[in-house]
């Protein structure tokens, strides 16, 4: 019966069996140390018997082995215990030498080497830590929304029209006709508010992004939520705040080891995220009051303001100009130049976009007409059907998983924390 490496310290004096990968071998004069890696961490095996020493010489790093031995206390060993008098059995043929030294505590290779060899480099405890944070964040996202009575949905990724934004869409051959990969589940999640009131979806979205930047991927994991019977976008922001808090809490508890390996301290999010109107934000940043968007420098200034004035690393900017938002955005009732939408900034950089949507059929017809489009366009017919038959005031938000994790862990490039990233130049592994 196999135990995990993390269970070794509580088995001192017993004979146990562990299994995993040969993480490292250290040969001294009369003794060798085998460091074994399994999903729970590392353990140390002390090899002294001449036959076993010779066997170990043939078992290169990454060979999968099973080790039976006696647990002995040793304050110098990881967890304060190690295996002695081991019997080692190889579970595979000896492994080839890995493309990077997985046992080194820090990663010294450049990103191309890491990505080209991801099937193996992801095994490095620091490299894999990025995804551990991501997996924990997914759990926190779902758990928070489950607790708020949301229903999970999974909507099609193959769609008939490239409506939301004609550009940057991947086209495919669908049984001889044209189809596209969904750039977001926006239309479907709104539609499903008509069915379940509160919905979320975790799934891939696709952007044929022609720019090679550290922030963009051609495929990424989008965490989408949408819900009905809101007063306005402030209700959406309140749920987003709870979701971010839930994600941070899940990362802190479920990925504690990963945070330690990455040397990351989690931020806190206040009960009430400070909110600035877009027009105040421009003023605060010293920008031209007619600017339709915030520059990176503006966002940094706003982030500093929130930290200084509210002790918060999070700040929301609401009221972005309608001209910069998608057609389904709800205007600010008191002044329709502005919108009932927001960006949530974290440490002075945009993290999440959300807001209230239009919910009256007539408003959709008008909004499309104002943009030179038509509600009669077949591309919109299923989407608009939901509104023709009654939709409540609603809103939602979308979080890009890889970007969220990169911001949280301080990764400079989203590719560092994505599993097998896709971009302009990369389609493998």
Task: Compare residues 285 and 391 and give the one whose CB is closer to a copy of itself.
Answer: 391
Which alpha helices (DSSP H) does 288-400 contain, by range? 296-310, 361-370, 378-388
C-beta of 37 vs 347, nearer to a copy of itself: 37
Which stretch, 43-51, 76-84, 115-123, 320-328, contacts a copy of itself (CB under 8 A)? 115-123
Shortest distance (Å) from residue 109 CB to a copy of itself? 15
State yes or no: residue 19 binds a copy of itself (CB under 8 A): yes
> Is residue 298 within the footprint of a copy of itself (CB under 8 A)?
no
Single out the residue of 64, 84, 264, 365 in contact with a copy of itself (rule: CB under 8 A).
Answer: 64
CA distances from 367 to 323, 329, 331, 339, 360 (A): 11, 9, 10, 13, 11
Spatial separation of the C-alpha atoms in residues 65 and 25, rounded to whole Å: 13
Mapped onto helix, strand or coil, the DSSP state of residue 346 is strand
Please give the residues from 125 up to 154 whose contact with a copy of itself meets the rule CB under 8 A: 128, 131-132, 134-135, 138-139, 142, 146, 149, 151-154
Residue 50, SS3 per DSSP: helix
**Residue 131 or 278 with smaller CB distance to a copy of itself:** 131
Minimum distance from residue 306 beta carbon to a copy of itself (Å): 30
By CB under 8 A, how many residues form the interface with a copy of itself? 91
401 binds a copy of itself (CB under 8 A): yes
Do the annotations mark residue 369 as ligand-binding? no
Stretch that binds a copy of itself, among 240-248, 337-345, 358-366, 407-415 (CB under 8 A): 358-366
Among 147, 166, 210, 268, binds a copy of itself (CB under 8 A): 210
Question: Which of 12, 46, 120, 365 is in the footprint of a copy of itself by CB under 8 A?
Answer: 120
Contact 37, 23 (CB under 8 A): yes
Angle, nearest 10°, between helix axes 401-409 and 125-147? Answer: 120
In order of 40, 322, 376, 384, 397, the CA distances from 223 in angstroms are 28, 24, 30, 23, 8
User: Is 123 a residue that touches a copy of itself (CB under 8 A)?
Assistant: yes
Could you tell me which stretch among 16-24, 104-112, 288-296, 318-326 binds a copy of itself (CB under 8 A)? 16-24
- Asked if residue 166 binds a copy of itself (CB under 8 A), the reply is no
Triad 125, 140, 345: Cα angle to 5°: 90
Determine the Cα–Cα distance for residues 267 and 239; give it in Å rounded to an integer. Answer: 18
275: number of Cβ within 10 Å: 18
**Annotated binding residue 403:** yes
**Binding of a copy of itself by 39 (CB under 8 A):** yes
Q: Which is nearer to a copy of itself, 305 or 364 (CB)?
A: 364
Q: Kindly tell me which residue out of 51, 58, 93, 288 binds a copy of itself, with binding defined by CB under 8 A.
A: 93
Give the position of tokens 């550009």. Answer: 167
Interacting positions 321-340 with a copy of itself (CB under 8 A) = none
401 is in an annotated binding site: yes
How far apart (Å, rounded) are the C-alpha atoms in residues 37 and 47?
Answer: 16
User: Which residues from 222-281 bind a copy of itself, rule CB under 8 A?
Assistant: 229
Question: Based on CB atoms, which residue is closest to a copy of itself, 99 or 270?
Answer: 99
Contact indicator for 308, 302 with CB cutoff of 8 Å:
no
- Is position 301 annotated in a ligand binding site? no
Interaxial angle between packed helices 186-196 and 378-388, expressed in degrees from 0 to 180 and rounded to the nearest 10: 20
Q: Which residue stretch of 49-57, 62-70, 76-84, 319-327 sits at the interface with a copy of itself (rule: CB under 8 A)?
A: 62-70
CA atoms of 340 and 315, how far apart (whole Å) = 16
H-assigned helices in 92-151: 111-116, 118-121, 125-147
What separation in angstroms does the CA of 202 have from each of 18, 185, 234, 328, 423? Answer: 35, 10, 23, 21, 20
Residue 44 binding a copy of itself, by CB under 8 A = no
Write down the least CB distance from residue 75 to a copy of itself, Å.
Answer: 28
CB closer to a copy of itself out of 33 and 361: 361
Is 95 among the residues that bind a copy of itself (CB under 8 A)? yes
d(CA 227, CA 199): 6
Instruction: Kindly list the distances between the CA atom of residue 325 and the CA atoms of 38, 295, 321, 356, in Å, as whole numbers in the listed order.
Output: 48, 16, 7, 11
According to the annotation, is 268 in a ligand binding site? Answer: no
Annotated binding site for L-aspartate: 164, 207, 353, 357
Annotated binding site: 164, 207-209, 215-217, 350, 353, 357, 400-403
Annotated binding site for ATP: 207-209, 215-217, 350, 400-403
């Amino acid at each position: 019966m196999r135990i995990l490496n993390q269970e070794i310290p509580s088995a001192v004096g017993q004979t146990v069996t562990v299994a995993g990968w040969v993480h490292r071998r250290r040969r001294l004069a009369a003794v060798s140390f085998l460091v074994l890696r399994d999903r729970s961490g590392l353990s140390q095996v002390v090899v002294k018997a001449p036959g076993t020493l010779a066997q170990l010489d043939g078992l290169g790093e990454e060979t999968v082995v099973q080790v039976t031995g006696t647990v002995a206390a040793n304050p110098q060993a990881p967890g304060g215990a190690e295996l002695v008098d081991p019997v080692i059995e190889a579970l595979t043929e000896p492994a080839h030498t890995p493309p990077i030294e997985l046992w080194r505590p820090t990663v010294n290779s450049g990103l191309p080497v890491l990505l080209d060899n991801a099937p193996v480099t992801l095994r490095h405890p620091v490299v894999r830590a990025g995804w551990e944070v991501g997996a924990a964040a997914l759990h926190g996202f779902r758990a928070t929304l489950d607790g708020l009575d949301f229903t999970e949905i999974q909507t099609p990724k193959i769609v008939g029209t490239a409506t939301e934004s004609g550009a940057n869409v991947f086209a495919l051959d669908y049984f001889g006709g044209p189809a596209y990969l969904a750039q977001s589940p926006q239309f479907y999640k709104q539609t499903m508010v008509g069915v379940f009131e509160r919905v979320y979806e975790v799934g891939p979205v696709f952007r044929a992004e022609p720019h090679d930047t550290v922030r963009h991927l051609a495929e990424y994991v989008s965490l989408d939520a949408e819900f009905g019977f809101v007063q306005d976008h402030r209700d959406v922001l309140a749920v987003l705040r709870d979701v971010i808090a839930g994600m941070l809490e899940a990362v802190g508890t479920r990925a504690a080891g990963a945070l330690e390996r990455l040397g990351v301290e989690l931020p806190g999010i206040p009960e009430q995220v400070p909110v600035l109107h877009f027009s105040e934000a421009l003023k605060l940043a010293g920008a031209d009051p007619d600017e339709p968007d915030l520059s990176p420098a503006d966002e940094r200034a706003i982030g500093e303001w929130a930290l200084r004035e509210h002790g918060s690393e999070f700040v929301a900017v609401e009221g972005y100009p309608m001209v910069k938002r998608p057609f389904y955005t709800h205007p600010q009732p008191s002044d329709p130049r502005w919108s009932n939408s927001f960006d949530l900034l974290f440490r002075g950089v945009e993290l999440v976009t959300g807001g209230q949507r239009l919910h009256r059929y007539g408003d959709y017809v008008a909004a499309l007409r104002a943009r030179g489009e038509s509600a009669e366009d077949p591309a919109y017919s299923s989407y608009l059907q939901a509104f023709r038959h009654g939709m409540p005031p609603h809103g939602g938000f979308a979080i890009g998983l890889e970007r969220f994790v990169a911001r949280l862990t301080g990764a400079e490039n989203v590719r560092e924390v994505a599993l097998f990233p896709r971009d302009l130049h990369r389609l493998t592994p």
